[in-house]
Amino acid sequence: MDDFHYKIESGQGALWCEGVSLDDLADEVQTPAYVYSQATLEGHYDRLSQAFAPLDPLICFSVKSCPNTSVCRVLTQRGSGLDLVSGGELYRALKTGVNPAKCVYAGVGKRPDEITSALEAGVGWLNVESSQECALIGQLAEQLGQPCRAALRVNPDIQTETHQHTATGHRGTKFGVQLDQVEAFFETYGSSPWCKLSGIHLHIGSPILQVEPYVMAVQKGIELMDRLRSKGYIIDMFDLGGGFGADYQSGQAPEATVYAEAIVPLLESRVAEGLQVVFEPGRSIAANAGVLLLTVLYVKQSDDHTFLICDGGMNLMIRPALYDAFHFVWPTRVTASHIPPARTEKVQLDGLSPVNVVGPICETGDIIAKDRALPQVQAGDRLAVFGAGAYGMSMASQYNSQPLPPEVLVDGQKAKVVRRRETYADLLAMEV
Ligand SMILES: Cc1ncc(COP(=O)(O)O)c(C=O)c1O
């Protein structure tokens, strides 16, 4: 799953990331802090890439999940491309040194200046979401004299078992073009020499812990590509988006090989005919590669509830408040008998008591973990929020004027601050 593990030191369990003690690291950089494991990032990327090797896919790491350029560079140096959704992400991508041709640029609301930058950079494909956008890309490409390849984002109308805010592939969302309107779309825009529609893009939502929705999406995609080809359109790229699961709880997500066993046979013959398959994984690579380290400031009893009030909350990890998402939380130091056997909602150990892990933010919804059985914790103890590498720092805010925390990348026994902690002056830096 990852490279965060408890080591026993003089009868106590202490959390390490690869070869670095997280308590020693926290003494150095203070909390709150995000810590990423390079070995975990690489391991997840490698497993995906090996599982899907028969398709020789272009894996484009989804920058929105963990945009730090040092993290992205770990992956691009391994051969990954990048999945981008804004001019800001394109700017980051170019700083990593990635080959722009290995990038896809999606997003429902691309501004004209963002499209121009993507054209000038020479991104591999623009993923088109609407007819007006397609017309604008064609116009801007013609003005620049720079034709581009494009993939049409299609809404395949597939229901998925995920939170309503992260399900994207059913009818009625703002994403893509309805399946039954795609042929008409191609009749209008499919022969532009400037915005060359030559791919199909899908993203059915995330996290998707079953393979069936992917199988359905691929089948619908293949049928669609065949219909378009029979009308003379050249379709040579199929982008299946992201959404593969991560282990927010131990063993929750299917292995990359499980997704691959279902998907590869459906696409293998098409790849042999020249189809380029693209994936846009974010959380399946980054989620388990990061923890958020917090310090408990106060232990507060209120009626029957115990609150562990920490130095970071929804401002740094909004997923529980936004999606009711589960993140495993555990002290960085515990007695040896309290080393968690697995990261699950209900840990089967003696001597645990229920607590609410909350932050300093002035919102009742500022909760990281509710009614969670934890070992005895005192003010000053540190907690690790696991599975925090994706959509953690990337969705963090300065709400309540809390400066953003540092990000640290661990590689073996080395820990490097790859984004420094913000200062109070940083909070005001943009104000004029
Ligand atoms: C179009 C698209 N591709 C890829 C992703 C990445 O999803 P995940 O991080 O779940 O793999 C997202 C997530 O929102 C997305 O909207």
Per residue in 317-326, pLDDT (tens digit) is: 999 999 999 9
Q: Looking at 239, 262, 283, which one is the last position of a domain? A: 283
pTM: 0.97
Q: How many CB atoms are located within 10 Å of the residue 20 CB? A: 21
Which domain range does residue 273 map to? 38-283
Q: Determine the pLDDT at residue 166.
A: 62
CA–CA separation, 175 vs 197, rounded Å? 17
Q: Are residues 206 and 269 in the same domain?
A: yes
Q: Of the given ranges (102-116, 163-177, 269-283), which has the lowest mean pLDDT?
A: 163-177
Pocket test for ligand 1, best of 65, 125, 278 (most atoms within 8 A of CB): 65
Q: Determine the pLDDT at residue 1.
A: 86
CA–CA separation, 173 vs 356, rounded Å? 34
Q: Looking at 256, 283, 310, which one is the last position of a domain? A: 283
Q: Are residues 151 and 170 in the same domain?
A: yes
Per residue in 303-316, pLDDT (tens digit) is: 999 999 999 999 99
Judged against a pLDDT cut of 70, whether residue 165 lies above it is answered with: no
Pocket test for ligand 1, best of 64, 161, 240, 285 (most atoms within 8 A of CB): 64
Ligand 1 centroid from CA 204, angstroms: 9
Can you give the C-alpha Rg of the chain in angstroms? 23
Q: Are residues 108 and 67 in the same domain?
A: yes
Asked if residue 349 lies in contact with residue 340, where contact means CB atoms within 8 angstroms, the answer is yes
Ligand 1 centroid from CA 350, angstroms: 39
Q: Are residues 265 and 337 in the same domain?
A: no
**CATH code for position 188:** 3.20.20.10
Non-local (6+) Cβ contacts of 326 within 8 A are: 248, 249, 320, 345
CA–CA separation, 420 vs 247, rounded Å? 28
Q: Are residues 109 and 234 in the same domain?
A: yes
Q: Are residues 393 and 268 in the same domain?
A: no
Ligand 1 centroid from CA 106, angstroms: 10
Q: Are residues 158 and 218 in the same domain?
A: yes
Q: Determine the pLDDT at residue 167.
A: 61
- 21 forms bridges with which residues in the sheet? 16
Non-local (6+) Cβ contacts of 174 within 8 A are: 108
Please count the structural domains in the chain.
2
Q: Give the residue from 378, 376, 372, 248 showing the smallest Cα distance to 310.
A: 378
Per residue in 45-68, pLDDT (tens digit) is: 999 999 999 999 999 999 999 999
Q: Determine the pLDDT at residue 157.
A: 85
Q: Determine the pLDDT at residue 172.
A: 74
Reported confidence tier of residue 232, pLDDT bands at 50, 70, 90: very high
Query: How many residues does the structure list for the chain?
Result: 432
Per residue in 106-152, pLDDT (tens digit) is: 999 999 999 999 999 999 999 999 999 999 999 999 999 999 999 99
Ligand 1 centroid from CA 221, angstroms: 18
Q: Determine the pLDDT at residue 164.
A: 66
Q: Are residues 9 and 109 in the same domain?
A: no
| CB-defined site of ligand 1, < 6 Å | 62, 65, 83, 106, 203, 206-207, 241-244, 280-284, 390
Distance of CA 73 to the CA centre of its chain: 15
Distance of CA 50 to the CA centre of its chain: 20
Q: How many CB atoms are located within 10 Å of the residue 397 CB? A: 12
Per DSSP, which regions of 20-130 are E strands?
Answer: 20-21, 33-37, 58-62, 81-84, 103-105, 125-128
Burial of 402 (0-12, 13-18, 19+ CB in 10 A): buried
Q: Are residues 29 and 174 in the same domain?
A: no
Pocket test for ligand 1, best of 280, 288, 322, 394 (most atoms within 8 A of CB): 280
Coil, helix or strand for 76?
Answer: helix
Q: Is 362 a catalytic residue?
A: yes
**CATH code for position 332:** 2.40.37.10
